[in-house]
Structure 1
Amino acid sequence: MANNHFHTRNPMCMDCRLHFLFNNPHARLPGPHPERFPYVILRRFLVLLPVLLAAGIAHASADRDGLRALRIAAPEAPAIDGVLDEAVWQRAPRYDEFHKHVPRDGQPVPTGLRTTVQLLVDDGALVFGIRAWDPAPELRRGQLARRDKVALDQDFIGIWIDPAGHGRSAQFVRINTLGVVSDGMHRADDDESDLGPDFPVETAVRILPDGYSMEVRWPLSNLRFPYADGRNWRMMVERSVPHAGGALLVTAPFRIDALSHLSFLQEIAGMDATVETVRDRGFVELRPELTVRSERAATPGQRLRGQQAELGLEINARPRADWVFNATINPDFSQVEIDEPLSQGASNVALSLPEKRGFFLESADVLGLPLPAFYSRTVNDPEYGLRATWRGAHMDATAMSLRDEPGGLVLRGRPYETLEYAQTRRTMASLARARWHQEGLLLGAFVSQRDYHRFGSNEVLGVDAQWRGETDGGVQHQLSGVAMASRTTAGFTEDDLPAQVEERSGGYLWGKYLHKTARWWHEAEVEAIAPGFVNDNGFVPQAGIARITGSMNRILGPQSLGSLELYEFETYLIVHEMRTLADATTGQRGGETVERKLRPGVWMAAPLQTGLWVELGFDRQRAGPGGRLHDTRVVNFGVETTPAPWISKIALEAALGRQLDVDADRVGPGGNVILDVGLRFPLRRGWSLELDHHVNRAWVQGTLGQPAFSDTAWRWLAMLHFSSRDSLRLLAQNTWAARRDDGVTQLEAWNDRQVHRSLLYRYQWRVGRTVSLGIVDDKLPLVDERNRSLTFKLQWEV
């Protein structure tokens, strides 16, 4: 599968603020800060996804067995110290057939990079033993970093496991040579990864003169599989060797046209007896947490102080393999641990924060719904919640209900804007979901409710389906669809107060077709959202619109550009049209073009883990109902590279040309530019310094020689790692936004500035056992407002 499409089809996706302003200018929240949308989460998914796609698009040859597990008794389990010296490792079968997936330069696996994998299994865990040889160990790249920041610029071992064996989801961990872990869940339905889940794996690495060895213990209590009639477990192991031309080696041969690499994970032999032995074992996890916070707020003429101590508890119970029950009581919402903060009113903009609450991450593979159907961050501050999940060989289901405290946001979409209301009362958020799946086919249904009690409710009923198949010649096809119907009696008055309103119904339809061969990749997507459709448990920033998007990608393979050898080269064309649907309630006319795009482009991959794309945007956009359809032609381009061992990433994305100023309903020269630079430096005593720099600027020029609108942000993060368990983080962020006289519209001028500073120390004994102490200082200098807080948090899993 070509690894560029998530860059070329979503230019500027690395920063949600600019993506929303210029690639979808009408679906915005009021005010100058569109970064409040959850595209940060999607961006994290998209930045990592190309690596995951390339890492395992393949399956083993039919005449070769995959990895075989050795069943052992509990007393034989090796100590997790990274040294493969126990006698049991001498008995375990070795697997050593690795294939190069990145870069796609047509060259074989570099000489000397042999890798072997062994697997032990007892009643409590899977234990992996990996031996990695390296002819140039002095060039090994392994430094301390944040959790979930293990990437291709580091030497690492990755393990992917599909315990259900149906190829629809997999849990994965990546461990670099200093023991830093990235982990998460990958779903084949949308071929995306979620880095939210943290698995309690125990790891150890031993550095050797000719490479390294690693041991990984993965508890069975955190692997989800059916009770009976399940398929064989499947897995894949990957190894990253950045000094060998950025090589990524995996235990599966390569297929460029695969729809999802999870379909080609290899079966693990020797697991049958283990599943039968452990499927009746019960596991219970209790995770209490204590949060103590002291806050000070200052506004003109007023000073406020407050202290609070809160206890929270998460309970995870698995009475047997196919059932999991979860409960959460007062989980903490703490911005001090967020790497990309929102300076003011953090609890009111939870929609844009990454989901790290364990209650929502459990069973995410079963839920598997797109954002318009369900988005967990709409539950801002749950007082309590209950959830149950069941997994069968061909069916699965999950149901949850939570009580949400006041303080969140309620969004209601319109064709040209997103209305924002404060949630001032307690609500109940509930969802039930069931799926049936066979080889290549999935059918699902769900029902959702947001209960505002005496102020009405919002109910949604939905169905979804996906089919995958392969026709003559190896052509891959995928067809997906979602249909929903809503009924809403919860609304708001003209004063933005909650109120029960006259019942209104609406529908939602979405479909996507994917066609892939070794040389072509085509996509077609349609979406229609009725004016009356509302889903307060999902994310629907626009309603009353219909859109169609298509793309054609020609995969040309390795090419030469003068003296530069390109590993991959692709050309593509994107077409997009969005129009309004008629709405008698608001008087919106139907058939009005909101935006139109025609974007030809190219993408290429080069040495030094470099990707480059350029596209021409022949775009047209409308700012509001009845307005002019403006010509907004732009040039989009981007580059990402890792040119040196101490540079983890340099990424630049830009859109330059005619930009639409939505509030002024005019077009002017402008653009947006995003620059990200990541640096890592080894220090004495085994410490490491991690530096991340981010700058973005969006602007539309006026007629008086100055920007009529500008929005600028700068963020600097310094992370001092003392070990893989503890670190000190300093975070500084400034944002500026302003409107000035454009010489035409005479809109009121305004300025907004926010300043954020925070310092956080965090120590983690293991997953589920952490302590942190953080200081946050937020300021609005132009209105003389300031908020400071000191937060202590202890989490201890038992």
Structure 2
Amino acid sequence: MAVKKLIYVLCLIFSVISSNTVAGHRDNFHVDIPTLSQSITVDGEFDEPQWQQAAQVSLAFETSPGENIAAPVTTMVKVFATQDQLLFAFTANDPEPHKIRANLRDRDNSWGDDLVGVKLDTYNNAKLAYQFFVNPFGVQSDSIENELTGQESDAWDGIWQSMGKMTPTGYQVEIALPLRLFNFNQSDMQTWGIELVRFYPRNETHRLSSSKIDRNNNCQLCQLGTATGLANAQQGQDLQITPSVVANRQQQRDLNPNTAWETDNNIEVGLDLRWGVTPTTLLNATINPDFSQVEADSGQLNINNNFALFFDEKRAFFLDNQDYFDTQMSLLHTRNIGSPDYGIKLTSQIDEHTVGFLAANDVQTQFLVPGNLSSAVATIDQESQNIASRYRYDLNKQFSVGTMVTLKRAENYHNYVASTDLKYQPTDNDTFTAQYAYSQTQYPDDLFEDFCGSDDCSTIPPSCDLQQCDFNERVLRTAKDGAFNDSVYRLTYNHDRRNWWVSSSYISIGEDFRGDLGFIEKVDFSKFVAGGGYNWYLNDNFFSQITLKGDWDISHNQAGDEIEQETEMSISFEGGWQSYIASGLVNRERVGRRINASTIAIAGNTRSFNETFGWFYGQFTPLDPLRLELELSYGDDIDFANNQLGSKTKIIPEVQWKLTESIALDLSHRYQSLNVDNGRLYTANLTDVRLNWQLSLRSFIRLSSVYTHIERDPSLYIYQHRQAKYQDLGNELLYGYKLNPQSVFYLGYSDAFVADDTIDTLTQHDKTYFMKLSYAWLL
């Protein structure tokens, strides 16, 4: 209650002392966009008479690595609008055009190339900005920048047009952005935040801009310029209907002993609807959607890890305007809605008010069971209903306050969460955030048995050490009688200057708090963090920036018992060869697993271990076609299986090699080993290979393969029996044709192999043939 009152008082104070202001300012940069009656053909040529009537601006400044110095190359941009489009023509001159970096790639995969584009804040309130970039071949990249979270998401895909063309003096790009892409207030004349940008990668990646960027201001979207015009702009009917047909043939079999293949043929017809009800309100709906992922997740090595792995959302229905649901905590992670039959989403922004509503069923119920030493995914074989609603009030660019409510419900199960949050930036350098959430949850009476490794899971004995049974924290967190509730609150403060910054945060999560529609992996937990750093900006040096930073944190459970205390220092360098090099040293004291597995107590029930380890990360591009990365770490690490200290070595090299302008190879490998007193506990290797052949701007062939190989010494496992060998291999071959992000044709094949102590060699146990066809009707 005290936290609620504090937030309420802060809201009143800040609403009184703050004044309404806009974000982007004409003093930074300004362009008046003329509205013409006719559009143009997007072909990369600027021969239409409309371009003679367009406004013209130049990208005069380099904002990185140079600090608002004169741009090293000339970039001219023309812009005009029609009633339903915004059009740009970029002329990117280059004194050495043979050094232009351009590759034929799939959408959102051209970073590292020469690029031109635009950033647009259609409400000019420094909360969200659309970003559109195009390389010299016309490859599109789009994303949304969220000032509230400080993150950019390239998962969003809009339908827009672009075309690029190489010229003897550089390259030129034409862009047409339908106004149906945007949410904006309806008025006779628009004022939007805008920045025109060019990325010019040579020895370093130069960022060129239409306006200066003040490094002494931690709000990026507050520093946009303004674009006025778009007289009587119209979104049109803004109705998109996308029917789809998905067919797959899946064959599976059991191994050891091998059984006959079982075949399942399936054909599904689905329908997606996207309707701009008003220029500021968007309705998404889906019936019987295909929510299978065309692109396989990156391989992850899950060994000596007590917490559940995180996977990004990639599905279009959930990605559209997903930023409307963002808060400082992850209260909505839609990968928890695995396979819905239907879904509906409504998002709207009117003046200072932003609203989002999402509802979907799921054929099963999936959520995260959190703890303070471990977490895991639980699945209930029952249909669930999932609802999330979000409201945010942006008084001005300095202050915003919001609420969030989520609901996940099935038979004998529910989780309800209500939250309030605020962000306040009293100066260009200071940012305060706060969030409070309250939950009520009820589990099925027998859910804890899903995590129990003992023969008798009906009761939990009063004492159960590691050698007696295989109970774990998830058993204790799910063995609940009736409904239970708890809360969480989070406070942060950041002070950012050009050359230095300090920050601190505190979070306290109650023992019985649950956020099952989000990704809350820790409960019964509190953590305080304080840190800072210093930047050196160098001129005429191989390294253009050096950063020294560090932090200290301490964590406890809600009973006040210490879980972890950590100190970390690191130094990083950015400079030539598009390089980024960082290295650090970590010292921490943290507890291992519980000795008595029938209680969640920390004090007197765990061993504390002191770990010291160092790490290194480097990436650079010595040649245009070749990008290299290397991650290393070596030092102490807890062996959680045996509750002892070991020595871990981790090596992760990665190569991105552009074999030709249209063929690219991405190869990464992860090696990890852990030595304990009596020998090598395990050696783990994971190799992820992806070969992409972009046949044209619209079609591609992709081959991916992920191989995992783990070897253990079973004699070194004290409390559990582990197999000496485990291998798995997953492959996928995919052909894709994209007329646009929603009008697609996919044809593919995937399979899976496994081997272990009982299966001598990699043996196939799964294979799938699949096809998807969808077409977006724009009405």
Normalising by structure 2, we get a TM-score of: 0.86
Q: 1:244 to 1:660 in 2, by over 3 A?
A: closer
Equivalent-residue separation in structure 2 for 1:721 and 1:434 (angstroms): 42
Offset at residue 519 of structure 1 (A):
1.7
Going from structure 1 to structure 2, the CA distance change for 1:68 and 1:304 (only over 3 Å counts) comes to: same
Task: Determine the structure 2 residue equivalent to 1:732.
Answer: 705
Alignment of 1:751-766 (within 5 A): 751-766=725-740
Contact 2:636 2:646 in 1 (8 A): yes
Match of 1:405 in 2: 363
**Preserved contact between residue 641 and residue 717 of structure 2 (Cα < 8 Å):** no
> Does residue 469 of the first structure (1) align with residue 401 of the second (2)?
no
Does 2:322 correspond to 1:322? no
Q: Distance in 2 between matches of 1:415 and 1:244?
A: 46
Following superposition, the deviation at residue 464 of structure 1 comes to 0.6
Aligned equivalents of 2:716, 2:334: Cα separation in 1? 44
CA distance in 2, matches of 1:738, 1:593: 34
Q: Does 1:124 align with 2:84?
A: yes
Question: Does 1:709 find its partner at 2:682?
Answer: yes
Separation (CA, whole Å) in 1 of partners of 2:321 and 2:294: 27
* 1:651 lines up with 2:629 in the alignment: yes
1:229–1:393 contact (8 Å) kept in structure 2: no
Contact 2:404 2:418 in 1 (8 A): yes
**In the alignment, which residue of structure 1 is the partner of 2:542?**
565
- Shift of residue 146, structure 1, vs aligned partner: 2.7
Question: 2 CA distance for matches of 1:320 and 1:661?
Answer: 57
**How far is the alpha carbon of 1:210 from its aligned partner?**
0.4
User: Which aligned pairs between 1:90-169 and structure 2 lie closer than 5 A?
Assistant: 90-104=52-66, 108-110=70-72, 113-151=73-111, 153-169=112-128
* 2:58 aligned counterpart, secondary structure: coil
CA contact (8 A) 2:386 2:408 kept: yes
Quote the Cα distance in structure 2 between the aligned partners of 1:491 and 1:549.
36
Does the 8 Å CA contact 1:99/1:254 hold for their aligned counterparts? no
The 1:65–1:503 alpha-carbon spacing in structure 2 relative to 1, beyond 3 Å, is closer
8 Å contact from structure 2 (residues 24, 124) kept in 1: no
The 1:228–1:487 alpha-carbon spacing in structure 2 relative to 1, beyond 3 Å, is: farther
Report the aligned-residue RMSD.
Answer: 2.4
State the partner residue of 1:641: 620
* CA distance in structure 2 between the aligned counterparts of 1:351 and 1:329, rounded to whole angstroms: 29
Contact 2:274 2:282 in 1 (8 A): yes
The answer to which of 239-248 and 548-557 deviates more is 239-248
Aligned AA (1:240): F
How much does 1:501 deviate?
4.4
Structure 1 residues 544-603: Cα deviation after superposition (integer angstroms, max 9, x where no partner): 00011121111222289xxx632011211111111111xxxxxxxx22222221012211
CA contact under 8 A between 1:165 and 1:231: conserved in structure 2? no
Pairing 1:607-756 to 2, within 5 Å after superposition = 607-624=576-593, 625=602, 626-647=605-626, 649-682=627-660, 688-706=662-680, 708-741=681-714, 743=716, 745=718, 747-750=720-723, 751-756=725-730
Report the CA distance between 1:766 and its aligned residue: 2.1
1:81 aligns with 2:43: yes
Using the TM superposition, give the Cα deviation of residue 370 of structure 1 relative to its aligned residue in structure 2, in angstroms. Answer: 4.0
Q: For 1:11-26, what aligned pairs fall within 5 Å after superposition? A: none
Of the three residues 359, 373, 377, the one matched with 2:335 is 377
Shift of 1:442: 0.4
CA distance in 2, matches of 1:677, 1:759: 21
Q: Does 1:520 align with 2:491?
A: no
Per the alignment, residue 250 of structure 2 pairs with 295
Separation in 2, partners of 1:336, 1:400: 23
Deviation at 1:709, TM superposition (A): 2.9
The percentage of aligned residue pairs carrying the same residue is 19
What is the rounded CA distance, in whole Å, between the counterparts of 2:649 and 2:189 in structure 1?
53
Counterpart of 1:797?
776
What amino acid does structure 2 have at the position aligned with 1:607?
Answer: G
Amino acid at match of 2:90: I
**Given the alignment of the two structures, is residue 337 of structure 1 paired with residue 304 of structure 2, yes or no?**
no
Alpha-carbon separation, structure 2, partners of 1:526 and 1:409 = 29
Q: Deviation at 1:61?
A: 7.2
Q: Secondary structure at the match of 1:382?
A: coil
CA distance in 2, matches of 1:597, 1:509: 22
Selected match of 1:421 from 366, 378, 384: 378
Where does residue 487 of structure 1 map in the other structure? 440
Superposed displacement of residue 333, structure 1: 2.8
Residues 368/231 of structure 1: CA separation in 2 closer, same or farther (3 Å cut): farther
Report the equivalent of 2:405: 447
Paired residues of 2:123 and 2:192 also in contact (CA < 8 A): yes
1:603 to 564, 569, 572: 572
In structure 2, the CA distance between the partners of 1:403 and 1:230, relative to structure 1 (3 Å rule), is farther
Tell me which protein shows more helix as a share of its residues: 1
SS of aligned partner of 1:68: strand
Deviations 1:169-196 (A, max 9, x none): 0111211111211211110001101111
Question: SS state of the match for residue 682, structure 1?
Answer: coil
- Residue 496 of structure 1 corresponds to 450
* CA pair 352-312 structure 1, distance change in 2 beyond 3 A: farther
Amino acid at match of 2:42: I
Partner letter of residue 70 of structure 1?
A: P
Divergent runs of 4+, >3 A: 58-61, 104-108, 227-231, 341-344, 349-353, 497-501, 741-747
CA–CA separation in structure 1 for the residues paired with 2:336 and 2:666:
29
Query: SS at the partner of 1:779?
Result: strand
Hey, what does 1:283 align to over in structure 2? 238
- Measure how far apart 1:211 and its partner are: 1.0
Letter in 1 for 2:143: G
Q: Is the 8 A contact 1:227 1:392 kept in 2?
A: no
Q: Secondary structure at the match of 1:253?
A: coil
Residue 72 (structure 1) aligns with:
36
**Deviation by residue 1:289-324 (Cα, 9 ceiling, x = unmatched):** 111000111213422111101112110111221221
The answer to whether the Cα contact below 8 Å between 2:29 and 2:211 also exists between their aligned partners in 1 is: no
Looking at structure 2, the residues matched to 413 and 325 of structure 1 have their Cα atoms a distance apart, in angstroms, of 33
Which deviates more from structure 2 when the two are superposed, residues 537-546 or residues 763-772?
763-772
Look up the SS of the partner of 1:401 in the other structure: strand
Contact 1:593/1:629, CA 8 A, preserved across alignment: no
Corresponding residue pairs, total: 704
> Where do 5+ consecutive residues of structure 2 fail to align?
1-22, 452-477, 594-601
Contact 1:147–1:180, Cα closer than 8 Å, also in 2: yes
> What is the CA distance between 1:797 and its match in structure 2?
0.5
- TM-score (normalised: structure 1): 0.84
> Hey, what's the Cα distance between the residues in 2 that align with 1:767 and 1:68?
31
Following superposition, the deviation at residue 492 of structure 1 comes to: 4.9
Rounded Cα–Cα distance in structure 2 between residues aligned with 1:546 and 1:795: 47
Unaligned regions of 5+ residues in structure 1, if any?
Answer: 1-57, 582-589
Task: Provide Cα deviations, 1:252-292, integer angstroms capped at 9, x if missing partner.
Answer: 21221332311111110223x234xx16x431101111110
Match of 2:486 among 506, 513, 537: 506
Residue 359 of structure 1 and its aligned partner are, at CA, apart by 2.1
Residue 244 to residue 212, structure 1, CA distance change in 2 (3 Å): farther
CA distance in 2 between partners of 1:65 and 1:603 (Å): 33
Q: Hey, what's the Cα distance between the residues in 1 that align with 2:67 and 2:405?
A: 48
User: Contact (CA 8 Å) 2:68, 2:212: kept in 1 or not?
Assistant: no
The alpha carbon displacement at 1:226 in A equals 2.7
Task: Please name the residue that 2:16 is paired with.
Answer: none
